[in-house]
């Protein structure tokens, strides 16, 4: 509920402060990808939850994974999140790992992972407590 409210507030804010078309171009997945780069851990968690929800639902997963897969900075951020060790970041790590596992299942995205430095180390960090 918080994520949906926040999305509509941001869309409304863009319409009021900018052009009506700025708010109309927004979608939930792009909003969530933007939140991953926030400085606020709460916003990062909201973004990761939204992406995980859309990536794991059969009716939305193909479009969501395609959008994430063509945005190398988001893939890089998700790989980076796997390395976070703080106890409070456990759900973010879980969300990132689920999203990345679905992405890796797509052949075109699996090759993109090879170009991200530290991918194997980040994935293997999930095996350690």
Tens of pLDDT, residue by residue over 109-121, are 666 666 677 776 7
Q: How far is CA 108 from the centre of its chain?
A: 18
Q: Is pLDDT larger for residue 62 or for residue 16?
A: 62
Q: How many domains does the chain have?
A: 1
The fraction of the chain above a pLDDT of 70, given in percent, is 81
pTM: 0.81
- Indicate if the pLDDT at residue 36 is higher than 90: yes
Q: How many CB atoms lie within 10 A of CB 15?
A: 15
Structure tokens at 113: 């992972």
Q: How many CB atoms lie within 10 A of CB 99?
A: 24
Those residues with Cβ within 8 angstroms of residue 56's Cβ, 6 or more apart along the chain or in another chain: 98, 102
Those residues with Cβ within 8 angstroms of residue 77's Cβ, 6 or more apart along the chain or in another chain: 36, 37
pLDDT given for residue 38 in this prediction? 92
* Cα–Cα dist 54/40, whole Å: 22
- Indicate if the pLDDT at residue 88 is higher than 60: yes
The domain of 120 spans: 2-127
| Residue 85 DSSP class | -
- Indicate if the pLDDT at residue 129 is higher than 60: no
Mean pLDDT of 31-45: 92
Give the mean pLDDT of the chain: 83
């Amino acid at each position: 509920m918080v994520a949906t409210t926040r999305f509509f507030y941001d869309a409304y804010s863009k319409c009021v402060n900018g052009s009506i078309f700025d708010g109309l171009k927004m979608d939930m997945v792009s909003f969530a990808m933007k939140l991953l780069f926030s400085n606020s851990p709460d916003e990062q968690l909201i973004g990761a939850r939204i992406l995980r929800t859309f990536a794991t639902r059969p009716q939305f997963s193909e479009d969501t994974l395609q959008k994430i897969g063509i945005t190398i900075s988001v893939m890089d951020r998700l790989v980076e999140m796997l390395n976070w060790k703080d106890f409070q970041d456990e759900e973010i790590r879980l969300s990132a790992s689920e999203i990345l596992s679905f992405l890796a299942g797509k052949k075109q995205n699996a090759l993109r992972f090879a170009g991200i430095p530290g991918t194997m180390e980040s994935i293997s960090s999930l095996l350690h407590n």
